Every structure is written in structure tokens, then in C-alpha cells.
Structure 1
């Protein structure tokens, strides 16, 4: 069915007239008198802006400028691209073409339509049924929202847009940015080579090829008087690169956070968690950190100090000391809420430091959540810089007492009538509040560290989430489908620009009767080959709950995890340079291989490892090898050509893992925790997958590979054991290693 709009409510932009142009941008005026800026934001990135400060040339001022200082969405607002502007005729009508090398954006002016070209091929265009509309208000010259519609190819897949446990392809979905349940993020892209990002904190609705609405159209409805749209052209990896350069990238994670975490069981105290931690050490299960259950470990008290909850932590130093004696880091829950029965609630309300109910003018009282032990509370107004700085500094003081990380979820369904001092209300506040909270916590956690290293455990999703180094998982059922859902969540987050996603091994929030020894070990194996993983100190979810044989398999898998840490952290460091996530879907990594896309739960762990997780019972696992590459089995050393499908027999102690030809895998030593790592000698072995041609991913990489006369020469492998794949020979020449084909 074609798009249907109520024409009495929408004003269609019918024409454009050019004002000025240069090598970076073109300034137009619409038929409604609005300023339109089109610029080459970066190579392969085009920006269209109507009514924004960028378009009008007027700087933001007043409350808008103050708000931007705390939650600006762009890390690089200035244009750095270079383009040629041409006046052309498009379908018999005047138009313009903005050209960047092999890519171009065409703008038809009567009516206003867009077409995006990659290497001369049209990859995205405005819908023939609906172009660019402004939703009218009482003042027709000041539209309150925009609607854009793009035609897609039949069955064309769309990726990104946030977290999904259902499908990686978001086709036939509606995603609403301000609905916490939508788990939305703002970037969408297609393997055909286009990407779309709407730069706003106002609500955006993404209707992706809804059968009852527009089965082959991607429709955006943007509830913002200003339109700021970025269009990307290129391979999906390059789109993520440009998107994260534009909007910001993650800070540095701590080395210890790459190790295993252990989460406290509900209804237990810190002493009971310490008892489980001692069992982990005694049974030889490596791990590095414990995370405590909500409610928040501290709250505001007299003179606006944060003080430990005395009923749960009568002696915080003694509690923290128990874990430190086991060489463990500690993550405690925090929350920017103040319970109504707390004497500080009234004082904070008088200071205007809490979000308010605009109908009454009083502090809004929220229903209780786990972080407040179910008690009603008010929320600190983090849009106010003094409040934001206060909370950050108080959390820093708590962390100085021995806390290593903070957990906090604040993606609440904030009612529309709730407002902040900067004027934000409702939907806008629902979007920016978790963004402000997580940034605040990361700055507290990374305080006094160079480079800024910190860990904040949160499930919240929001614009700029990709600036933080870790995303926590959502609870899923303890079933085979639950395992598949957890993998989809990780891969959809990665496809949306988030660098690292933590895997929980099972969920205490769901019945445990479906968790069998086989499922547990398959789940653990998938978590081992991810960026982060967390076990639960819950009977029925611990490695020794499934018998001695299962425990031995778990110990083997966990040793693999610790040997992988230098590689995983190196991949996260690469994310800070490339925007690519740790876990990369087939569509992201191999956009031209449609057959690979159908194997949606396979993924690349970094650039070098292909992982095929087991998501159903049995030892037979089917693997598709993407075209154009060769793959080496880590278990057998056998080589497989790309474009083929094989079935492997895999016991419970391993997964089908394959090295990508031309790469190498650098492994660290076995350890019980990262404190046993020798920072001067972090690596132990190097595995070669065919002739190496790429520099390896490894933490603080100092290994370099060069090719000359049919051989590869590597520097930085001194003292490491090298395991060549079949057909290669290795010779050491001082500090240099020569790798050549065996004669």
C-alpha cells in the first residue's frame, strides 16, 4: 500500500533556490523561507540541515547552549569533507549534485527529493509517493516535525537502530526512540552501502518497511522543528567508522574488566557472595570482579554527602577488604535517586535539584524500582550542571574508598509532565537522562586515570551510547532460544555502533529448569568468545552445579577466555580507531555475501576469528565460510575455502572457531585473574593462519608485519612461541621473524 498522509496537516517542500556555495557546503532557501544547508560533512558523509544553528549560521544561545554543553550529540560538528557542486537537470526539473569522489548526493528541487549514489549506482532515494514533509503548527513557518520516506529494494535488509533479540534485520519493525522498550539507537544502514542518522534528542519513529503502511519504504517521523540529517555512503564498516567519528567513540576499558565477572544473587548479602567467590578460586574458575545487587549501595545524607547503606554495609572497608583479599575488583550499584523518606529529599527539592512535576511545581515522585528497594523516590536533575558535577564528585569519593566500578540503570519511563530546569520534558528527557547519567558515572570511574579507563555496568541505550566502552546484556530465558536472543542483542548493538556487549551466562530473572549442562556450557563458550562475560552466584547457574565433568569443561573454556584477553582488548582498542565492534555480524563484515547474512548468529570476534556458536542441542554444528577468504580450524589446523558450508562434530568443551587467513592470533598465558598478568610480557604464543599479511590485534600493539619477495617479516615477536599453520616455516633473525612457505 502506498504511503498515505493527511495533506491538511503536512506541508510539502516544493522547491529550493540556491543562495551560496563553496567546496564544502551549499546554502539554499526553501519555498517556505527556511534556510537549508547541504554540506560534505566528511568523506562519504552528507549533511542536510534545516532550521538548525548550522543551517542558519546563528549560534545556539541561552538554555539551548547550556543544554548542549552537557548532552551535545556531535563530537565533530564542523565539516571536514570536500565536494564539487553541480547544477544539473533531474527528470526534466532543475536540481543539484554534490559530488565527493565516487559518491554523490542529488537534490531535485521541484519538488524536493533526494538520491544517494555510490560509485555511480543509486543506492537510496526519496519515495516517489512521499518526499520531504513538514508537519504544520499554528505558525506554518515553524514546523513541529518532519517526515522523510525512502524507497528500498524488495527484501532489502536494514541493520542497526539499536538492540533486538528477534532479528538482526530490522525490516517490518517500528522503532520509537523515546520508548525504553524499543531499545533504540539512531543509526540505520544497509549492506547496499547507505546509512542514515538523524541528529536529535527529540522523538524519532523509524517505520522500516511495515507491510500495512509502506512495505518497501523506510519512513522517518522526527518530532523536531529542526531537521539535521546525515547520509552515509560506503561499506558498512566505513559507515560505522564515519558515524562514530561524527558522534564520538568509547573510552578505554580497564584490563581487569575483560576478565570474568560474578554477580551477587538476590536475597543474599556480601558475605555470602564472598563465600561463592572463594569457591570459584578453590575450584580453579578464573574471574576478576564481583558485582553487587541493587538497591544502591549509598544515598545522599546530611550535608549532601553520599554515605554507605549502613544496614547492608556497616563496615564498608571490611566488606571491600574481603574481596580485595581474593584479588577481586568490586562493582557496586549507584542511582541518582533520593527516596522520599530520606531527610535530604525535602532539602534537594527546596534547592531545585530534583526533576519536577510541571502540573504541581513539586518534585516528581517516581514509583519504587529495585535500585531504591521498591521505595518511591525523586530523581536528581542531571541537566543542571551543578547537580551533575555534585553527583560525579560524590561518586568519585566513594570510588576512592575502594570501589572499582559502578552499575546503574536509569532508563525510566519518565511521564510527559515531568520536567528539568533546562526546560527538557517528557520524551526529550527520557532520551537524554540515561545519557547524562552514564557519562557522569564514566567520568567518575575514569577519574585520575591516563588514559581514562573506567567500567560502568548499565543496560540503558541512548544516543551517544557508543562513547562508553561497555554495554550490559538484557535478561533472556534460560533456554536455547534465550541463548540465541542474547547473541542477537550483542550483534544488533554492535551493528548500531556500540563497541562492546557483555554476555550474562544465564539469567536469574527467569526459571532455571531449562538450563541443562549442555546449554550452560554452550552459553559459556559463546560468552568466552565475546568482549565481556558475567556469571551469577545463583545455585543452578554456577559451573560446579552440573557435575564434575561439566566443571572441567568450564575450566578449560575459562582458561581460553583469559588467554584471549590481550586479543579482545586489542580489538576494543581498534574500535576506538575504526568504530567496529568486538562482535561483528556477517552482514557487517561481509556485505556482498548474501549467503553469509542468512547465518545471522555466526560472527567475527575482531578481525581474525570466525565464531559459530551452538544454539541447539547436539554436537553437530553447521558453519558457513564467507566468500573470498580461507579459514583455519583452531581445533584441527585444517584449512577451508570460503563460499562453502560444513558440518562439524564438536563436544561440550569447544566450539567451531576459525582463524581468518592472513591474520595471526596472539594469546596470553593461562591465569586465574588479570592481576597475574606480567604487564611487561603479556603475550605467550602466536598462532598463524596462513601467510600473515595483517598486523595482529593485540593490546597496545607493537607487532608489525611486512611483506617482501614472497615472505612475511614480523617484528615484536621476541620470546614468543610461534605456531605456524601447515605449509609454513619460521626462521628467527635477531629481533625479526621471517615466515615463508615451506620448500
Structure 2
């Protein structure tokens, strides 16, 4: 928060009440979520209501700031979602946070991922970033490659120096943006279930490889790939290229777009029609949903289970979490003939499953 504006002392309960009252007026007008911007500039030389100096309060400031807005949001809206920039230990209780004003360069895109992985290792389940970068208009090729990276993050927004609306570039870019966005919408059951599991287990949605594969030495050396939930591995394109080297931990991995099977180790993999490399762990069930214009319009009574299994894999499993449910359910399938079938539907009566073997 720039000094020339104001720095509210959130260690003072009266200040919190005053500020929340201002925000409540906006909620009453229909606002859904507040962007909790700035929060980095509590002066180190300041004196605070807590009786502490800025040496103590500076880092605590964004936690107090996040809490004030999240708690009011919970009271007024029934959820505690915010969109915050600054944070400190404990702010994971008030999701979510994003990476700030990234440059519109390849190096900034890769640095954004490293920052997100670091935040995830600090106890934060949810994190986002400005798709395409923020500080200047994004070059088209960079924006095209950054878009699926954003779509395979826990939360998504395209925000920065205009133009950011995909239709302001050209028809080709608009189609590419739409394909990546549609991929995310069809993956919503997977994303929703993984979000539930991540929050309950204290895991990041976007996690470093060694979180899932701590005994794989190679996984500890990778900072330009990530696991999106427990079953998908994502390797964005950080250069103007259509392929890159990808490290795969133990087991087999199946290309999400092409269906090609890879063994563990290093591979040069070509991106598919959507300019990103995404692979699924062999033996995984990834729930999908029919494309809709809004999550509010999605038909959760009909879920498609895409089974990612190599030829010799006879069983697979995944998680499904319905909006009306209180917990994620495990779904197991078994190979029967040339397809797979659900062994038991714990969501019987709530949803039906259609199975597709991704080969």
C-alpha cells in the first residue's frame, strides 16, 4: 500500500471495524469478491495500536489485512474467498493469493512458476498468477503459451496491461485461448476434487514433483514442471518452441492430449494442439464434465471418467467431489475386455458415470 495514500493499522480493532463497514456497503451493492491488493508497505518506523513497531508488524500486516477482508466476506457471502497479493505465514487460512505484477517475458513466466511452487511448499493450497504477465502488453506467442499454464492452475485470471481480452488479438489466438479454457472447464470435476483433497490434506494444488515422489532423486532437481493435483504432471513451454525436455518420475505417464505412453526419466516431448505438455500418471481416472458456459450450468449428474491406463494396466482410480457433497469419493475401475467398468459407484443416485479409455 503506497505511503502517499494511507496505511491502515489493522492491529487496531476499531480500524478493522471501520474498514469492514466500508466494504460491506460494496457487498450490499452486489460485489462478490474483493481483490486484496498491496499490503507490503507497512512502515518499519511506524507505531501501531498493538504497541509494536513496524519491525514486528511489517510482515504481520498482510495477514491482518487478509483476515479482515476474508472474515467479512465469510460473514456476508458465506465463503471466505479473496484475491490477495501480499501474504505471510498463516494467510493460507484466507485464500487465495496470486503472484503479483509479473513481467511479460519468458523468464518472468518461468519465475512465476518457481514462486508458485515455493508458496505451495510454505503451506498454501491455492495460488494464481496473471496469465500473460502484467507490466506491458503480452506478446502474442508468450500469451498463447502462458494461457494453458494458467488454465492448469488452481485459479485463473487474465489481468494486466491491455490488451488482455483474447478477442483483441486475432481470430487464431482467440481459438487457441478458447481451446485451453475449454480444457479447464471439462476438467472441472478433477480440479474440484483435487482442490478438496488439497485443502483437507494441507497440500498445494500446484506441487513440486518431490512432494509426491520424495524418494525419486531427480524430482528434487525440477523447478520448471509441476504436479497439478496428484495425478497430472504439467510442463509449460517457457520458450518459443513446440517441444521441451520433460522429467518423469517413477512409473509410466500418458500424454493427456495424444495418449502416447512414456516411461520414467527424461524425454523430449512435443506439445499437442494446446501449447503445453500435460501427462497423466498411469492408472489414473480423471473425471470430466460436459462443456458449459459457466460452472453454474454444469451437469454434475453426468460425469465422464477418462481412464489413463497403459495396455498392461488392469485397474485405475481417481477422486470425484460433487458440489452437493461433503467429501471426495474414491472411484475405482477395473479392466473388462477392451474397456473398463466401475467396480462400485459410491455416488449412486447422485451422478452417473460414462467411461472412456484414453488410448
The normalised TM-score by structure 2 is 0.86
> Take 1:412 and 1:480, find their aligned partners in 2: how far apart are those partners?
26
Instruction: Provide Cα deviations, 1:634-657, integer angstroms capped at 9, x if missing partner.
Output: 222232222x22222225524221
The question of 1:713 aligning with 2:343 is answered yes
CA contact (8 A) 2:233 2:278 kept: yes
In terms of mean alpha carbon deviation, does 578-587 or 392-401 score higher? 392-401
Q: Deviations over 1:351-387 (max 9, x none)?
A: xxxxxxxxxxxxxxx732xxxxxxx43x333222233
* TM-aligned CA distance change 1:604 to 1:416, over 3 Å: closer
Is the 1:605–1:611 contact (alpha carbons within 8 Å) kept by the matching residues of 2? yes
- C-alpha distance in structure 1 between counterparts of 2:139 and 2:14, whole Å: 51
Does the CA-based 8 Å contact 2:316-2:334 persist in structure 1? no
Contact residue 258 and residue 272 of structure 2 kept, 8 A: no
The CA deviation string for residues 198-245 of structure 1, in whole angstroms up to 9 with x for no partner, is xxxxxxxxxxxxxxxxxxxxxxxxxxxxxxxxxxxxxxxxxxxxxxxx
Aligned to 1:367: 3
Q: Deviations over 1:380-410 (max 9, x none)?
A: 3322223323433442342122000111234
Match of 2:259 among 632, 637, 660: 637
1:603 offset after TM fit, Å?
0.7
- Equivalent of 2:181 in 555, 558, 571: 558
Matched, 1:592 2:225: no
Compute the displacement of 1:473 (Å): 1.6
Preserved contact between residue 318 and residue 331 of structure 2 (Cα < 8 Å): yes
Aligned to 1:623: 246
Counterparts in 2 of 1:657-696, with a 5 A limit?
657-678=278-299, 681=301, 683-690=302-309, 691-696=314-319
Among candidates 478, 484, 502, match of residue 128 of structure 2: 502
The aligned residue for residue 529 of structure 1 is 152
Q: Please tell me whether the aligned partners of residues 474 and 486 of structure 1 are also in contact (alpha carbons under 8 angstroms).
A: no
Distance across 1 between alignment mates of 2:320 and 2:228: 11
Q: Secondary structure at the match of 2:343?
A: strand
Distance 1:707 1:520 in 2: 38
Contact conserved, 1:531 with 1:583, CA < 8 A, in 2? yes
SS at match of 1:696: strand
Matching of residues 326-345 of structure 1 within 5 Å:
none
The within-5 A match list for 1:297-308 is none
Counterpart residue number, 1:517: 140
In the TM superposition, what is the alpha-carbon distance from 1:440 to its structure 2 partner?
A: 1.0
Residue 106 of structure 2 contacts residue 238 of structure 2 at CA under 8 Å; is this kept in 1? Answer: yes
CA displacement at 1:447 relative to structure 2: 1.6
C-alpha deviation, 1:435, in angstroms: 1.0
Unaligned 5+ segments in structure 2 are none
| Conserved 8 A contact 1:586-1:604 | yes
For residues 344-743 of structure 1, what are the structure 2 equivalents within 5 Å?
Answer: 367-368=3-4, 376-377=5-6, 379-448=7-76, 452-510=78-136, 512=137, 515-536=138-159, 538-627=161-250, 629-642=251-264, 644-651=265-272, 653-678=274-299, 681=301, 683-690=302-309, 691-699=314-322, 700=325, 703-705=329-331, 713-715=343-345, 716=347, 718-726=351-359
2-structure distance, mates of 1:719, 1:657: 27
Q: CA deviation digits over 1:140-170, x for unaligned, max 9?
A: xxxxxxxxxxxxxxxxxxxxxxxxxxxxxxx
Shift of 1:693: 4.7
Pair 1:475–1:415, CA change in 2 (3 A)? closer
Normalised to the residue count of structure 1, the TM-score between the two structures is 0.44
Q: Return the alpha-carbon distance in structure 2 between the equivalents of residues 725 and 560 of structure 1.
A: 15
CA distance in 2, matches of 1:706, 1:624: 28
User: Structure 1: which 5+ runs fail to align?
Assistant: 1-334, 336-365, 369-375, 727-743
Closer, same or farther: CA 540–575 of 1 in aligned 2, 3 Å: same
Q: Separation in 2 of the partners of 1:588 and 1:570?
A: 18
CA distance in 1, matches of 2:45, 2:228: 44
- Provide, for residues 123-150 of structure 1, a one-character-per-residue CA deviation record: whole Å limited to 9, x for no partner: xxxxxxxxxxxxxxxxxxxxxxxxxxxx
Structure 2 CA distance for partners of 1:429 and 1:651, relative to 1, 3 Å: same
Give the Cα–Cα distance (whole angstroms) in 1 for the partners of residues 199 and 189 of structure 2. Answer: 16
- Using the TM superposition, give the Cα deviation of residue 443 of structure 1 relative to its aligned residue in structure 2, in angstroms: 1.0
Q: 1:622 to 1:448 in 2, by over 3 A?
A: same
Distance 1:622 1:579 in 2: 30
Separation in 1 of the partners of 2:294 and 2:161?
21
Contact between 1:466 and 1:497, CA under 8 Å: does it hold in 2?
yes
CA distance in 1, matches of 2:268, 2:147: 21
Give me the CA root mean square deviation.
Answer: 2.6
Preserved CA contact (<8 Å) 2:66 2:87: no
| Richer in strand (by share) | 1
Distance 1:552 1:725, change over 3 A: closer
Return the alpha-carbon distance in structure 1 between the equivalents of residues 183 and 18 of structure 2. 42
